[in-house]
């Protein structure tokens, strides 16, 4: 019998020392119990989140669903060849206990990773690392429970997509697999395996010989203890930010000339791409943030990568300080820091970047009352929307006003871009995406094949295999009517008709965005049912051949019954915002540029 605990206090299962709780909580210590949980009503009816030691989590609000925690423990050794020793550990084992076990057994390979908080199950997800070694370097395979099939599978390390502080478990597989056990490939040796990084470089010289794995582990622990807060007294998540890894060309052209003093570590990736890793702690310290505080949250003086809870911090303090750090580093070094900490926030925030039609409002050369209005809600840039969900930031349609929209909202990064169709008023800002390529990461675009082909023809210089430097480079994902995932977040395309042209809307959770629709096929309307928020186009009061007018939009709203609808893609002929909205039903409003909405 599984014990589902209600209103569970999670404070002891996280390392920040901040209040955290969940509506439901269940722990399991074997696969059979996990299968029982998977088949339960509690699992089927709730959003589920699997956690480990909580060393990489910041709970923004009470988690409204089911938290799962593995208590699968045990460590076993297999193999007779000293160069190929397999160590298999349960996901619920503490990472520090695993490292200590391997050292006691005379095994080398994990010594550089001594002292890292958390549990074994998180190691392949986060690809934890320190002092030149990452867990993915030592992992042989990962035994998982697949929530799509309900079966136990073993995934070879080569298929896990290990990269700096990430893996496929954290991105495209997010939420699909629950780690059960991890198999590490180590060796018996009296000599440590990796001494090429940072403070370990001179350890051999100081000792006068090659250090043993235990000596390296002791050195690592001494360094960590000298820099990091004592976890028994001060709450933190360890390193709050990742060390940025930048394209070498970008670094040389945009950063090195202005800041030649920045330390750097050159990396050549498997595909031959040359990268440069910068120390985030150095960037933070040299942005004048050492010891900086907001409330009870502090940039730790001994290691600026750490944001610590000095005793009375709130979640808002930590987030506010993290935002300040990102802002200052970007201002000083033109580098955008990415949090290593995962914000657990089940809300969805939608920001209307643009709410106007293809001509915008005011229209050029028009002197009507709307175009002359001083109400800021009547000044409408071309239609676009920003969706922020679970720490990810998605843009729908980079229109020709994209640049000014992003500047207005101080948006410095996007995780992905969804494109409804290829008309200019929805894609005219693609070239303006180039500043968001900081570090050389290609920008992910999700669009239909015909849209991809059209854009390749019109903006061929952006899609060439080897474009000249400075051109925005895209990682294109072709989609259709079927649902897909971005970093574990499910996106459901909605087929709509723009006159005779099939285009897409998108549903993300309980929010949907539909623009430029004239009709929606009956077989697609189910995708718009049960919404908390619908953003829907309504061009004007008079009929139009390719867009819903106000009457048609209201009829569709009555049919699919979202809790709240905001109308967008609005022409000046709709009338002034204040006048028109006064005559709408209470559950229907006009969108306007800058409107921010939150779905809990």
- Taking Cα atoms as reference points, which of 386, 390, 424 lies closest to residue 406? 386
To the query of whether residue 457 is one of the catalytic residues in this protein, the response is: no
Buried b (16+ CB within 10 A) or exposed e, 295-311: ebbbbbeebbbbbbbbe
Q: Tell me how far apart the alpha carbons of residues 47 and 63 are, in angstroms, rounded to a whole number.
A: 9
Residue identified by tokens 């600026």 is 304
Burial of 231 (0-12, 13-18, 19+ CB in 10 A): middle
Contact between 395 and 406 under an 8 Å Cβ cutoff? The reply is no
Question: What are the backbone dihedrals phi and psi of residue 363, each rounded to the nearest 5 degrees, phi first?
Answer: -80, 145
Closest CA to 588 of 547, 557, 543: 557
340 catalytic residue (yes or no): yes
Residue 1 vs residues 37, 261, 321, 452: alpha-carbon distances, Å: 10, 61, 44, 52
Beta carbons within 10 angstroms of residue 66's beta carbon? 23
Does residue 212 carry a catalytic annotation? no
User: How many other CB atoms are found less than 10 A from the CB of residue 211?
Assistant: 20
- For the beta sheet containing 48-51, the strands, ordered from the edge strand earlier in sequence to the opposite edge, are 5-9, 21-28, 63-70, 48-51
Which pair of structure tokens corresponds to residue 135? 């867990």
Q: Left if phi > 0, otherwise alpha if psi is -120 to 50, otherwise beta: which for 127?
A: left
Locate tokens 């990430």: which residue?
166
Catalytic residue among 27, 143, 165, 384: 165
Instruction: List the alpha helices (DSSP H) in 417-571.
Output: 424-427, 449-458, 460-463, 550-560
Candidates 429, 518, 521; CA nearest to 481 is: 521
Query: d(Cα 528, Cα 530) in Å, to the nearest integer?
Result: 7
In the three-class reduction of DSSP (H, G, I as helix; E, B as strand; rest coil), residue 94 is classed as: strand
H or E element at residue 136: helix 135-138
The answer to whether 255 touches 246, Cβ cutoff 8 Å, is: yes
For residues 111 and 194, what is the distance between their CA atoms, to the nearest angstrom?
9
- Which of these is catalytic: 340, 388, 437, 448? 340
Whole-angstrom Cα distance, residue 179 to residue 36? 16
Q: State both tokens at 543.
A: 């009929």
What are 104's two structure tokens?
């006691």
Catalytic residue among 167, 239, 355, 422: 239
Report DSSP letters for 291-306, one per residue.
Answer: T-EETTEEE-TT-TTE
Q: Which of 213, 56, 188, 231 is nearest to 131 (CA)?
A: 213
Say if CB 46 and CB 63 are below 8 A apart.
no
Reading the block at residue 440, the tokens are: 């050389």
CA torsion, ordered 449, 455, 458, 464, to nearest 10 deg:
-90
Catalytic residue list: 165, 239, 340
């Amino acid at each position: 019998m599984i014990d589902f605990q209600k209103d569970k206090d999670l404070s002891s299962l996280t390392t920040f020392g901040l209040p955290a709780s969940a509506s439901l909580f269940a722990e399991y210590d074997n696969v059979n119990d996990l299968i029982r949980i998977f088949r339960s009503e509690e699992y089927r009816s709730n959003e589920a989140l699997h956690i480990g030691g909580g060393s990489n989590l910041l709970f923004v609000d009470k988690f409204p669903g089911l938290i799962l925690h593995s208590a699968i423990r045990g460590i076993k050794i297999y193999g007779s060849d000293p160069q190929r020793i397999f160590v298999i550990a349960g996901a619920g084992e503490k990472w520090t206990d695993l490292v200590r076990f391997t050292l006691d057994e005379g095994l080398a390979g994990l010594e550089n990773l001594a002292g890292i908080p958390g549990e074994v199950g998180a190691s392949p997800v986060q690809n934890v690392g320190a002092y030149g070694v990452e867990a993915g370097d030592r992992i042989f395979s990962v035994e998982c429970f697949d929530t799509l099939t309900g079966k136990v599978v073993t995934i070879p390390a080569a298929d896990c997509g290990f990269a700096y502080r990430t893996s496929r478990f954290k991105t495209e597989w997010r939420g699909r697999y629950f780690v059960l056990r991890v198999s590490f490939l180590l060796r018996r040796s009296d000599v440590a395996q990796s001494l090429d990084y940072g403070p370990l470089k001179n350890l051999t010289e100081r000792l006068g010989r090659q250090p043993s794995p235990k000596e390296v582990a002791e050195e690592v622990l001494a360094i960590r203890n000298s820099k990091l807060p004592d976890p028994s007294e001060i709450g933190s998540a360890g390193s709050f930010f990742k060390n940025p890894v930048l394209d070498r060309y970008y670094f040389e052209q945009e950063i090195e000339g202005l800041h030649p003093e920045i330390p750097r570590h050159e990396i050549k990736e498997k595909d031959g791409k040359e990268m440069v890793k910068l120390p985030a702690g150095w960037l933070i310290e040299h942005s004048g943030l050492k010891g900086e505080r907001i409330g009870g949250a502090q940039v730790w003086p001994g290691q600026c990568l750490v944001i610590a809870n000095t005793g009375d911090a709130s979640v808002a303090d930590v987030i506010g300080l993290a935002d300040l750090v990102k802002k200052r580093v970007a201002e000083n070094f033109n580098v955008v820091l990415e949090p290593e900490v995962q914000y657990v926030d089940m809300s969805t925030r939608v920001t209307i970047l643009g709410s106007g039609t293809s001509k915008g409002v005011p229209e050029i050369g028009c002197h009507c009352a709307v175009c002359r209005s001083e109400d800021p809600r009547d000044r409408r840039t071309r239609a676009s929307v920003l969706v922020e969900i679970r720490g990810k930031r998605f843009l729908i349609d980079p229109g020709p006003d994209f640049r000014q929209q992003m500047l207005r909202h101080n948006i410095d990064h996007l995780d992905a871009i969804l494109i409804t169709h290829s008309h200019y008023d929805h894609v005219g800002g693609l070239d303006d995406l180039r500043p968001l390529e900081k570090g050389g990461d290609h920008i992910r675009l999700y669009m239909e094949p015909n849209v991809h082909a059209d854009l390749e023809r019109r903006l061929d210089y952006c899609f060439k295999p080897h474009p000249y430097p400075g051109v925005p480079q895209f990682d294109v994902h072709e989609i259709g009517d079927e649902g897909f995932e971005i970093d574990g977040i499910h996106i459901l395309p909605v087929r709509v008709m723009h006159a005779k042209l099939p285009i897409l809307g998108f549903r993300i959770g309980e929010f949907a965005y539909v623009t430029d629709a004239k009709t929606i096929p009956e077989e697609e309307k189910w995708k718009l049912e049960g919404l908390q928020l619908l953003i829907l186009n309504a061009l004007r009061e008079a009929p139009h051949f390719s867009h819903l007018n106000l009457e048609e939009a209201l009829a569709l709203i009555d049919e699919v019954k979202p809790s709240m609808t905001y109308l967008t893609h609005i022409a000046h002929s709709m009338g002034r915002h204040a006048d028109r909205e006064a005559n709408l039903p209470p559950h229907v409003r006009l969108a306007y540029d800058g409107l921010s909405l939150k779905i809990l």
